[in-house]
């Protein structure tokens, strides 16, 4: 087996029948057709949605499954990495392989992050500095990488095991933003 493979003796697809309309489905994420920003500004991550579980409320998903595959970055006059934000959805993000562009050192393959509803988050300090000072020319983004995100209108919680027992819990995660400084300089109001 390769270092990036896992094996098991049983599969949930190994069943005699399925209930109702449920059916097994396997999809190669490398086949996903990437849609991307080609002018300016960072597009909303919904352009990377692979599957959506609808809710009864129009425009509100119970869950979206999103991937961040390899692609070209060509936006001009802008900050290309994912922007700083908070949303009304909860986001669980994970890294399957490679290095995630917004936290190259902070998220390891097999690892994940949870940003609950209205929790501000975005790229770490190193990503901000690199993206703020680089020459904006066409570049490949996330080559050799596959990251995913589950975004849900429902609240998500970490299990007691995850909070108290897991030896890999990064309690210093928030520090990736500690060195960020405000660059906002409001224009002086013109005197009348």
List, as residue ranges, the binding site.
85, 91, 100, 121
Q: Which residues sit in the known binding site for Fe cation?
A: 85, 91, 121
Alpha carbon distance 14, 11 (integer Å): 5
77 is catalytic: no
Q: Which residues sit in the known binding site for homogentisate?
A: 100, 121
- The strand pairing partners of 73, in sequence order, are 139
Choosing from 19, 42, 115, 183, the catalytic residue is 42
Picking from 59, 168, 184, the residue whose alpha carbon sits closest to that of residue 113 is 168
Using alpha carbons, list the distances in angstroms from residue 128 to 10, 116, 134: 43, 22, 10
Provide φ and ψ at 93, rounded to 5°. Answer: -120, 145
Q: Which residues are catalytic?
A: 42
């Amino acid at each position: 087996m390769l270092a990036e493979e896992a094996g098991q003796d049983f599969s949930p697809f190994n069943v005699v029948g399925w209930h109702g309309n449920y059916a097994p489905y396997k999809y190669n994420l490398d086949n996903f057709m990437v849609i991307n920003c080609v002018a300016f500004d960072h597009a909303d991550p919904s352009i990377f949605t692979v599957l959506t579980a609808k809710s009864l409320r129009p425009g509100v998903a119970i869950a979206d499954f999103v991937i961040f595959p390899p692609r070209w970055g060509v936006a001009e006059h802008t900050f290309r990495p994912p922007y700083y934000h908070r949303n009304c959805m909860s986001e669980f993000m994970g890294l399957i392989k490679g290095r995630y562009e917004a936290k190259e050192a902070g998220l390891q393959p097999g690892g994940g992050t949870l940003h609950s509803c209205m929790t501000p988050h975005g790229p770490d300090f190193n990503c901000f500095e690199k993206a703020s000072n680089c020459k904006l020319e066409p570049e490949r983004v996330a080559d050799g990488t596959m990251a995913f995100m589950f975004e849900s209108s429902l609240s998500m919680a970490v299990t007691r095991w995850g909070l108290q027992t897991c030896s890999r819990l990064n309690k210093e995660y928030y520090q990736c933003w500690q060195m960020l400084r405000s660059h906002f300089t409001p224009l002086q109001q013109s005197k009348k």
